[in-house]
Structure 1
Amino acid sequence: MPPLVSLPEALAASGSPGLGRRFTVSASATDSPVTPNAEFDAWFARHRRANRFKVTRIPFSDLVGWRFREGDGNLVHDSGGFFSVTGLEVNTDWQDRGTWTQPILDQPEIGVLGIVVKEFDGVLHCLMQAKMEPGNPETVQLSPTVQATRSNYTGVHGGRRTAYIEYFTSPRRTLLVDSLQSEQGAWFLQKRNRNMIVEVTGDVPPHDNFRWLTIGQIHRVLGQDNVVNMDTRTILSCVPFETPDGLIRNEVNPEYRESLARSLSGRHGSLHSTGELLAWLTDLKARHSFSRRTLPLSKLDGWSHSDDEIAHDEGKHFKVIAADVRADTREVTRWTQPLIAPVERGIAAFVARPIDGVLHLLVHGKVESGTFDACELAPTVQCLPVNYQDLPAYRQPRYLDLVRDAAPDALRFDAVLSEEGGRFHHADNRYRIVEVGEEVPTQDDQDYHWMTAHQLMTLVQHSRYLNVQARSLLASLHTTW
């Protein structure tokens, strides 16, 4: 484990910080007197042990406030808010995928994913929450200050007000990060959230479910299985860090760390210019056909509907299930809802290698059924292996064996991290960053290109470039300085 860095050490190395440097200083402070690591660990463990939550699978007929709508069979909420489960048909020539149908979550409203930050002793700290979500594998995970759909923070559920939401809705807020980003394109239809970091200077009312942590303290636990939730990771991926020169944490792999620092800086060259990469992505979107249309949920080919699940006939992909949820720390203490449950753990991994001394990541232009623009930049590998087990070799995901069977000394990051627990049940991926050498050539093909960390950090400041799995890995990359 990298050595812990105190606040004074981080400040002494920082000089006079601008915004990016302020974030980097916070990321380099891996302990803090505001909430010492030992205190955080005890607090977080206490919230998990409290076991004030119960999630039970139920038949669809026991859903309260939800119904299969007459006419199309779509699963909808009586209020017209939250989300619905509808059918989707996709037609594309991308990677010979052809035509398929599937259920998909339709939630057109834009939610808020936000972290409040405040300086303590000159170092930014994040107000983080121990939050229960019904689909989380460990129930309670480390979450942003606010993660709320518009239906939730406007009170459609009729429950308690979302804590601290006023810091994100006030017109006089001080925004440090503000980016509209997608969610899982295979399961959501054109779903986006506003990823925000808001700085405050005054007193913030305390709450037992919340603690102030440096970004370095969050990084300390991000590498642990199912501790830091997806919403925290996607916000942190949007942070414009500066190069961590003089703030070394990774003393185990100094050569890797130096190539990563060059990759983050943007001053040491890259295999492709950012303009060339954007042209490549535009060409991918324009060269392939891609169309979709919604269908009645009751009319999907290849999917079967029983009393308690909607499932793929071949046992692939995911199921739609229903759950009864009891949680006394949430705005509403009991509710029922549908959830998407993948049939197995997925894998999402970046292959990384130094090119002329600068770390590059192999990025995949990947089509997903629910994205706005047919494709977004995805990890080198992103899949549920079971979906491909009966397909010929040429249809298998490229590099899957390489990242799945990687030697331990090639792993720069390796953790099981869950996806959004408010809509997905026990949906997690093994996230990996695998460093390789010349056995993986630098020559690109039409669907894969090498990019530096700085190029990814530049593109993630804008919408509709990096998908949520790539953003999770970008946030994870910053733990490996």
Structure 2
Amino acid sequence: MLARGAIGARLAESAASGPTAVEPPDVHAWLAEQRERAWMHVERVPLADLRGWAADPETGDIGHRSGKFFTVHGIDVRDPAGPVPGWSQPIINQPEVGVLGIAVAEFDGVLHLLMQAKAEPGNCNGVQLSPTVQATRSNYTRVHGGAAVPYLEHFLEPDPARVIADVRQSEQGAWFLRKRNRNMVIELDSSELDSSELDSSEVDSGGADGSTAARDGFCWLTLATVRRLLAEDDLINMDARTVLSCLPLPLPGEADDGSLHPTRELLSWITSARTAAEIDVRRSPLRGLTGWSQADGAIRHDSGLFFEVVGVSVRACGREVAEWTQPMLAVRDVGLVAFLVRRIGGVQHALLQVRPEPGCLDVAELAPTVQCTPANYGFLPAEARPRFLDAVLSAPAERVLFDATMSEEGGRFYHARTRYLVVEDSAADTGPTGDLERAGFKWVALHQAADLVRHSHYLNIQARSLLACLPGRADG
């Protein structure tokens, strides 16, 4: 039988727990061992040399011979109200919905999360901690002809009574066209995960009774351990962060208690912004895309900024497929996303913006206070420089509550890294005030943001990543 009780309280207990016998004694040593065992060799190659991929002879759009996985094509964007009224760019079109899922189970009265050490071709350091399951539909239906995805059966048709979180969420709206993944957290009975279901060669760790056994490359961690690891650079991958943001953790305040703006007002604000936005996105051939050129086997912006479309050849141990090639987006510089936070009426709030992006399914989503790549703004007009960017970058150390550089989705983006910051506003104790609010920006209580994540397409992936780092840090 599954352990019963309020899931929020049980997650809070896991978030406050000390080390347990179920966890690896040294997570970093365990990860180092996984990097030795699950190695990956990635080499940049010309796009024309990708096996199984081809450019359409008329458009230049890049697709897989199976018609699955994803395509890279161009878009033309018109945004008359934006600081840049129009531009063209390549974008990844991956219409299928993947599964990002974390299994949890209770051992010795404490909930543990089943995390995977997963190597991705775009990771700057190879292996990072990922969800239990991280798979596109093409992968888990085995279009690649490789091995099955471990633990997938627990997520495809879950018992509703075991579902802790289940919501479709977006990914990077600047690089993906209307991409969604199913974010899931499922509670399992530990008896379903004993060593009897595993070959002896697959068991990586476990207790004396075998009840905590996990397949090779997986380990059980408390939420407290995962939170500590979130503060380390390039350790918890993007897919894990978005699922973690969906956990129904208790936060100070319920419904609209202590919030500067009622939730109904926030929902109307988002809907009005989506309705008013005039952003127009149209498909365009990748070949001849305005402002972009193909040279040396890659596609680059003529300014040398933003990102490029490159090819990679991969050899891997511990993946469903041992060798493959694919196109990727290689981002040129480190991005920056930040929350400005302020305690208003005793409740922690974050300053969020409604941000239209060309890949958003519903025009715009709530984004962090700052979301940009600072290096790009020498090329863009001065009015495009993000509000609050200078305030965030110049904040004194005592006001920085969180600062870590983390990798973006390593299956599609090559060495894409973003610095994630949480900065306390200098007027943090001045009481209820809207003095920083501008058109498109509002203070949102953290418990309101957490409630919105339980619904699709309200908070973007960058805001969800920061939210995953915030519980337990709201008191500074």
> Normalising to structure 1: TM-score of the pair?
0.90
Alignment of 1:390-405 (within 5 A): 390-405=379-394
> Structure 1: which 5+ residue stretches go unaligned?
1-15, 244-261
Note the 1:2-401 alignment, pairs <5 A: 17-36=5-24, 38-50=25-37, 52-172=39-159, 174-201=162-189, 202-204=191-193, 205=198, 206-243=214-251, 262=252, 265-266=254-255, 268-401=257-390
Deviation at 1:170, TM superposition (A): 3.0
- Check 1:348–1:177 CA distance in 2 against 1; reply closer, same or farther (3 A cut): same
Which digits, 9 at most, give the CA deviation of each residue in 1:193-246, with x for residues without a partner?
A: 000011111231431200011111111111000000001100010111113xxx
Inter-partner Cα distance in structure 2 for 1:468 and 1:171: 25
- Superposed displacement of residue 392, structure 1: 4.6
| Deviation, structure 1 residue 50 | 4.5
Aligned residues: 446
Quick check: 1:60–1:307 contact (8 Å CA) kept in 2?
no
- Once the 2 structures are TM-superposed, how far is the Cα of residue 288 of structure 1 from its aligned partner? 2.2
State the identity as a percent. Answer: 48
The Cα of 1:94 is off from its aligned counterpart by 3.4
Q: Secondary structure at the match of 2:192?
A: coil
- Conserved? CA contact 2:357–2:363, under 8 Å: yes
- The answer to whether the 8 Å contact 1:346/1:430 transfers is yes
Residue 130 of structure 1 contacts residue 143 of structure 1 at CA under 8 Å; is this kept in 2?
yes
The residue matched to 1:95 in structure 2 has which SS?
Answer: coil
Q: Which amino acid aligns with 1:213?
A: L
Residue pair 2:38, 2:119 contacting (<8 A) in 1 also: no
Measure the CA separation in 2 of the matches of 1:267 and 1:370.
31
Whether the aligned pair in 2 keeps the contact of 1:220 and 1:479 (CA below 8 Å) is: no
CA shift for structure 1 position 367: 1.3
Amino acid at match of 1:472: S
**Greater fraction of residues in helix:** 1
Equivalent-residue separation in structure 2 for 1:457 and 1:208 (angstroms): 33
Q: d(CA) in 2 for partners of 1:107 and 1:30?
A: 41
Alpha-carbon separation, structure 2, partners of 1:93 and 1:30? 53
CA RMSD of aligned residues (A): 1.7
In 2, Cα distance between the equivalents of 1:288 and 1:419? 27
Q: 1:383 and 1:273 mapped to 2: Cα distance?
A: 28
* Corresponding residue of 1:251: none
The alignment partner of 1:190 has SS state of coil
- Deviation of 1:405 (Å): 2.3
Q: Specify whether residues 129 and 148 from structure 1 end up closer, same or farther in structure 2 by C-alpha distance, changes over 3 A only.
A: same
Note if contact 1:67-1:78 (Cα within 8 Å) is conserved in structure 2. Answer: yes
Measure, in 2, the Cα distance between the counterparts of 1:234 and 1:395. Answer: 28
What is the alpha-carbon distance in structure 2 between the residues aligned to residue 73 and residue 369 of structure 1?
A: 21
Secondary structure of 1:203's partner?
helix
Q: Counterpart of 1:448?
A: 441
TM-aligned CA deviation for residue 122 of structure 1:
1.9
Indicate the SS of the match to 1:89: strand
1:409 to 385, 395, 398: 398
Among 457, 460, 476, which residue is 1:464 paired with? 457
- Counterpart AA for 1:467: N
Q: Write the distance in 1 (CA, Å) between the matches of 2:408 and 2:377.
A: 21
Corresponding letter in the other structure for 2:98: G
- 2:37–2:318 CA contact under 8 A, matched in 1: no
